[in-house]
Amino acid sequence: MLQATPLTEGWTVRHEGAALPAVVPGCVHTDLLTAGMIPDPFLGRNEAEVAWVGRREWTYETDLECVDGHEQSDLVFEGLDTVAEVTLDGQLLGRTRNMHRSYRFDVTGLQGRLAVRFVSAYAEAEAVRGKVGERPAAYAEPYQYIRKMACSFGWDWGPTLVTAGIWRPVRLEHWSTARIARVRPLVTVAQGAGQVELAVEVERTRVEAPLTVEATVGGVRARAVVDGTGGVVRLTVPDAALWWPRGYGEQPLHDVELTLRHGDDVLDVWRRRIGFRTVELDRRPDAHGTGFTLVVNGARLFARGVNWIPDDVFPSRVTRERYRERLAQAADAGVDLVRVWGGGIYESEDFYDACDELGLLVWQDFPFACAAYPEEQPLRGEVEAEARENVVRLMPHPSLVLWNGNNENLWGFRDWDWERRLAGDSWGEGYYLGVLPRVAAELDPTRPYTVGSPWSGSWERHPNDPAHGTHHSWEVWNREDYADYRLSVPRFVAEFGWQAPPAYATLRRALPGEELAPDSPGMLHHQKADDGNGKLRRGLERHFVFPEGDFDRWHYLTQVNQARAVAAGIEHWRSHWPVCAGTVVWQLNDCWPVTSWAAIDGDGRAKPLYHELRRLYADRLLTLQAREGSLELAVVNQGAAKWAGAVRLRRMSVEGVVAREVSVGFGAEGRSVARVGVPRELEPVGPKEFLVADADGLRALHFPAPDREIPYPRPQFDVSLTPGGITVTARTLVRDLLLQADRLHPDARADRGLVTLLPGEEVTIGVRGWETPDAEAARSALYCMEPSR
């Protein structure tokens, strides 16, 4: 039987003769932090002080003994970051140059000092650039010349911390006769039965030994003979319960066990979990252009998505528990699709396991983002090798529903002056239209592949044409008002978003001792977007009087503006289902404390946007939309059952006077949108009036003027303590009330975000982690709209 021994103890990391204890898995930065040799790069402007780490060579060492009673011993690295030379007692075992691959070295009978020497990723990238020539990219760092997590080199939300190290587990494997080298599971559904085909590849020490494989799943057992180096086991599971995305059904998972035998001797065992489901991508042309609709088990979905970046710039620090917490936050916000963005990594099994269990669909980018990638060697062979390994590794997970070739590179070629600058040089098209679809079709024909995002499906159209395929909406954030989201109906919005700073307690921890201001040194350092603060300011000034010199007000208003911007897009696009079939917000999470587009900041605190997503992505949503010069109420019902009832429409003044009120019936079938016309006499007149729509505990609001023009009354409300929180009772209109619980205590969390109260209404806000509740303290942490100053 194969025996695996983790190699986690006794490691050191050495640089220029000095050695210090190392944690494996880990990276150089985390080891240096533990040893107190570098400051925390997440704090202040320390990032710049540790830039030297990425420019050095580092060597990890430990003692290794491979004497064992088995015929073969292998040294297995699940991940090396990135360019390394592996030696044992001075003997070269091999060289690596890809963070996204695993490596196996034969060390049978060997022992001595194991050394893994990492060359600077900069040195490798610059050497490859010298060989293949310059390629354009969105950023100046040379990330496109090395198969490494691109955002290690910095991004418009991330620090430049170029890592090195043994970033995934390493182990010794001892085995005899044969071992399971690879299992490729094809899981399908036909006529109500689950079909499992397990293609097994083996590695042998004895060619003549007769081998068999036996598999079990769902109480069904089958076996097959291994012919040479492989075999195929097929099983049928009658009446298999289907795996569904959250909100559509349950997520039953089935244990699969495959055993390799030589006679009665068990040589090796492979175990995974699978789920039975079908997935299609409907890209048929129609009267509106070309669709992009996910279809799971025959059900057509409006995808309620978020983009995922690595949850830490040092990904070895992300534990199974942290993955589960972050993804559970996504599920609790109504998310049903997570896009793993192409500037990061293929995540660990823990990520996909959590998605399987939570019913979160996974859209997986191949790791290419915002750059022209050379197709010459040594990169081309690495790209195919990593794709082959990771496609097979991730295939068992039912949550994985889509392979995507790249992020924004087709768009970049067409619009970012790449075509002229490349002058015929390779730039990655051969990967996205050749290598990757070929590998996906060969190894994993059960899932769709799309060439890139955005991609209109053909070079005959603009790659980012909103009428065809996937669309990235960035002109709004960069240059326009978020109201412009309502000017088009893309078929699938795979990226859009709006910035806001992180929570106040996150800023206080990240910028100790700094007097906070939008343009204070630390705030500017933790704002990586090009003209990010300028865009935040212009976005505010379209709606509010800019709060000069008032950081707390600026912090609150930018949080409000982020939530409102994303709401403007999602409400509009959801109201146009099934023409628009999904929104994927940029972004769910952060990898450090930073002003960014995230809904959950780098310390794991929820911004108001996160709570707003819970409303926007709920099965039922009311939204008031302007259509052809008049108002209508869109009743969005993503649940399976019909939603019928009456909506109460009120035209009100900001002083709280009801000018007009009617009740209108509605009925929205399951997975559909119903539209209810708003009578002309209900439409608000001037900035003093607004419209309220209420039905079944849900509310939609329409204010016809920007906040800076609205004569809000000075907000008046009462605050009282309740078990586990506070209750706020409004005596005037209180718009966008927000309790910033982390101002009460860094560990305090509120259970809701922005809420608007009409006179006489009340809301109870749950608060956990608040050790000494106090009503006046709570009042000081409450923010809302005030009269323009």
Nearest to 292, CA basis, from 308, 304, 280: 280
Give Cβ neighbours of residue 114 (< 8 Å, ≥ 6 apart): 61, 62, 63, 64, 75, 86, 87, 88
Classify strands 293-296 and 289-290 as parallel, antiparallel or unpaired.
unpaired
Q: For residue 332, report the phi and psi dihedrals to the nearest 5 degrees.
A: -65, -20
Classify residue 600 by its DSSP letter. B
DSSP characters over 394-446: HTT-TTEEEEE--BSHHHHHHHSSHHHHHTT---SHHIIIIIHHHHHHHH-TT
The C-alpha atoms of residue 415 and residue 410 are separated, in whole angstroms, by 9
The C-alpha atoms of residue 282 and residue 279 are separated, in whole angstroms, by 10
DSSP-based three-state secondary structure for 638? coil
Amino acid found at 642: K
Query: Is the CB of residue 465 less than 8 Å from the CB of residue 488?
Result: no
The C-alpha atoms of residue 196 and residue 389 are separated, in whole angstroms, by 20
Q: H-type helices in 547-616, by residue range?
A: 551-574, 608-616
Classify residue 202 by its DSSP letter. E
Q: H-type helices in 104-239, by residue range?
A: 121-132
Query: Is the CB of residue 158 less than 8 Å from the CB of residue 59?
Result: no
Element (H, E) at 780: helix 775-780
Q: How many Cα atoms within 13 Å fall on the side-chain side of residue 4?
A: 14
Nearest to 442, CA basis, from 241, 727, 88, 184: 184
Q: Phi-psi bin for 289: left (phi > 0), alpha (psi -120 to 50), beta? A: left
Classify residue 714 by its DSSP letter. P
The C-alpha atoms of residue 432 and residue 481 are separated, in whole angstroms, by 34
- Burial level of 228, CB count in 10 A (0-12/13-18/19+)? exposed
Nearest to 450, CA basis, from 407, 390, 502: 407
Whether omega for the bond prior to residue 578 falls within 30 degrees of 0, making it cis, is yes
Q: How far is CA 206 from CA 176, 262, 358, 560, in A?
A: 8, 11, 44, 67
DSSP-based three-state secondary structure for 573? helix
The C-alpha atoms of residue 397 and residue 726 are separated, in whole angstroms, by 42
Query: Is the CB of residue 768 less than 8 Å from the CB of residue 741?
Result: no
Nearest to 104, CA basis, from 74, 72, 70: 74
Q: Phi-psi bin for 551: left (phi > 0), alpha (psi -120 to 50), beta? A: alpha
Give Cβ neighbours of residue 775 (< 8 Å, ≥ 6 apart): 719, 720, 721, 726
Give Cβ neighbours of residue 487 (< 8 Å, ≥ 6 apart): none
Question: In residues, how long is the chain?
Answer: 789
Nearest to 443, CA basis, from 496, 393, 406, 388: 388
DSSP-based three-state secondary structure for 660? strand
Tokens of 782: 């409450």
Give the active site residues: 408
